[in-house]
Amino acid sequence: MPANILNLPDFKVQRVEEADHDYHVYAEVSNPPGGVCTACGSDHLIGHGRNEQVIRDVPTHGKRLAIYVDTRRWRCQSCGKTFMQAVPAVNAKREMTDRLVRWIGQQSLKRTFASIAGDTGLDEKTIRNIFRDYINALESEFRFETPQWMAIDEIHIINKPRCVVSSIQNNTIVDLLHNRNKDTVAKYLCKIPNRDKVQYVAIDMRTPYRDAVSAELPEASIIIDKFHVVRMANEAVEKVRKSLREQLTPQQRRGLMHDRFVLLKRERDLDDKEALLLDGWTKNYPELGAAYRLKEDFYAVYEGSDSPEAALAAYEAWKKAVVPEVRDAFDDLMRAFTNWQPFILNYFEHRVTNAYTESLNRLSRVVNLLGRGYSFEALRAKILFTKGAHKHKLSCRKFERRREPEPELAAAEKAARVGLPETYDPHKHEKPQKNYGADLNTLIELLESGRL
């Protein structure tokens, strides 16, 4: 057992002491002592005492493990500096093995810091610091392509709204920001590579998003996401429904059973029973019928307009049809359309929309359910950097002209034809694979199945 417990070729195990929760492994370093001065590079060294280092390692057999190594201190005769003998396989910043540092980083995406601290015997603050270093390394490893069609939305994680940046064309998340403040969003947009390639940005009606995009992506067209506009028509129907129910007797309310579900449905999606119920309600309660009809007609503004001019004309006609009895309920929608009119009408020129808003809501529910005890940084890393969730091909591939296959040529002949050395290996010169971000559907599937 002593010879195999570490499985580190640079250490020679002398003895192992086993306690209830720990292994204490006494070992010596197999590399020769000495070397050169770490300050000046001189090899004129003399011994300057010894010291026992305690090096933490990956838990083994369910127990924490520490390696005790007797190391030598050296003094440089050239510059007078003292330094400790270098110990192989040990992290330069911490008294633990390189593999323990890697293990903690990987585990921190799956488990809480407290549970990892319990398994290793390290302080929770140390685990958090290692996690931050690990995330910084991942940030440099995973370079997501800047979306041409970008969406800026929000997702609620740990009881706070967070800004999420997505690629509309690929249904992927490319970043998750700590909050949704203007400064935070602007700082992110300022740093993204190739930001001049962003053509369209779909947002909801939040002034900080608009101002940040206008300042940092001046060439991009801002488009108010269709979903956020038509949702206000549904909210208006809800206001009318709730106001009406407050005035009814308990018996009358029972006659409106499941009214919310039916009223939020599109008319074309109602089955025969639901259509019959709706017809009875609208006859008995004209205000409810007027609100439902206005909601459907507002959807028709989006579905029947093929240009900004046509959409504006359809909206103005719809606005005139709003009856006084339900005007208060639709005030918010009309005010928003007026205040954001240029950006709302941009949709009818460039039909760009964040069509996967419901997927974001679903992701929010799953993450908050499974992520109890995690910090936001850990959940962000879990969402962005999980291998297997990334998309490496465009959802809409470019058209490629068909070409006749060339007859096979010898490698030397091919190389000579294009002026390359005979030993040229095309695989060594391939461009790195593009990464378009974390695929939403794959991410949700991994989370719900417990594989993440």
DSSP conformation letters of 328-349: HHHHHHHHHHHHTHHHHHGGGT
Per the domain annotation, does 305 fall within a domain? yes
Length of the chain: 452
Q: How deeply is 246 buried, as exposed, middle or buried, from its count of CB atoms within 10 A (0-12, 13-18, 19+)?
A: exposed
What are the residues facing 162 on neighbouring strands?
155
Section 259-280 average pLDDT: 89
Q: Which of 214-228, 327-341, 430-444 has the lowest mean pLDDT?
A: 430-444
Which tens digit of pLDDT belongs to each residue from 431-444? 667 889 988 888 88
Domain presence at residue 23: yes
pLDDT at 449 over 90: no
The predicted model gives 10-34 an average pLDDT of: 85
pLDDT: is 414 or 9 the higher one? 9
Neighbour-count burial for 35-65, b at 16+ CB within 10 Å, e otherwise: eebeeeeeeebeeeeeeeeebbbbbeeeebb
* Structure token pair of residue 342: 């240029």
Tokens of 123: 């302080």
CB 447 within 8 A of CB 181: no
DSSP assignment of 419-452: T--TT--GGGGPPPPPB--EEHHHHHHHHHTT--
Structure-token match 């993440």, residue found = 452
Query: pLDDT class for 424, splitting at 50, 70, 90?
Result: very low
CA dihedral 211, 217, 222, 228 (to 10 degrees): -60
Answer whether residue 418 shows pLDDT above 50.
no
Task: Look at 450 and 149; give whichever has higher pLDDT.
Answer: 149
409: confidence class by pLDDT, cuts 50, 70, 90: very low
Instruction: Supply the pLDDT for residue 413.
Output: 52
Report the pLDDT value the prediction gives residue 401, as an integer from 0 to 100: 53
Residue 417 binned pLDDT confidence (cut-offs 50, 70, 90): very low
Model confidence at 4, pLDDT cuts 50, 70, 90, reads low
What is the residue whose two structure tokens read 């009358």? 252
Which of these, 264, 353, 347, 262, lies nearest to 306 by C-alpha position? 347
Residue 437 in any domain: the answer is no
Per residue in 348-379, pLDDT (tens digit) is 999 988 777 667 878 888 887 776 777 888 88
Residue 314 has pLDDT above 60, yes or no: yes
Q: How far apart are CA 121 and CA 230, in angstroms?
A: 54
Query: How far apart are alpha carbons 408 and 405 in whole angstroms?
Result: 9
Report which residue type is found at 220: A
- Least confident range of 23-27, 104-108, 372-376: 372-376
String of b and e for 271-288 (b: at least 16 CB within 10 Å)?
eeebeebbeebbeebebb
- The residue ranking higher by pLDDT, 91 or 332, is 332
Cα angle 215, 220, 223; round to 5:
100
Mean pLDDT, range 35-59, rounded to an integer: 79
Q: Is 382 exposed, middle or buried (0-12, 13-18, 19+ CB in 10 A)?
A: buried
Contact present, 68 and 26 (Cβ < 8 Å)? yes
* 240 part of a folded domain: yes
Q: Over 70: is that where the pLDDT of 396 sits?
A: no
C-beta of residue 200 within 8 angstroms of C-beta of residue 206: no
Domain of 3 in residue numbering reads as 1-90
Radius of gyration of the chain (CA): 32
Retrieve residue 149's tokens: 């069609």
**Residue that finishes a domain, picked among 68, 90, 112:** 90
Report the alpha-carbon distance of residue 17 to residue 26 in Å, rounded.
8
Q: Choose one of 286, 316, 348: the last residue of a domain.
A: 348
pLDDT of residue 319: 97
User: Which residue in this structure is represented by tokens 């025969």?
Assistant: 272
**Whether the predicted pLDDT of 14 surpasses 60:** yes
Q: Which of 348, 373, 402 is the last residue of a domain?
A: 348
Which candidate, 230, 238, 247, 227, places its Cα nearest to that of 291? 238
Distances (CA, A) of 28 to 13, 18, 67: 7, 18, 9
Which tokens go with 351? 């039909």
The answer as to whether 158 is a domain residue is: no
Prediction pTM value? 0.76
Question: CA–CA separation, 285 vs 152, rounded Å?
Answer: 40
Beta strands at 22-29 and 63-76: parallel, antiparallel or unpaired? parallel
Kindly report, residue by residue over 53-99, the tens digit of the pLDDT: 899 999 999 999 999 988 877 788 788 887 766 788 888 888 899 99
Average pLDDT, the chain: 85
Give domain status of residue 163, yes or no.
no
Q: Which residues contact 347 (CB under 8 A, 6 or more apart)?
A: 223, 224, 226, 302, 311, 353
Domain total in the chain: 2
pLDDT at residue number 415: 46
Tokens matching residue 144: 């997501």
Asked whether residue 13 is assigned to any structural domain, the reply reads yes
Is residue 244 situated within a structural domain?
yes
Q: What is the pLDDT of residue 430?
A: 55
β-pair partners for 387: none
- Determine the Cα–Cα distance for residues 220 and 152; give it in Å rounded to an integer: 13
Per-residue pLDDT at 142:
85
Whether the predicted pLDDT of 104 surpasses 90:
yes
Q: What is the DSSP letter of 5?
A: S
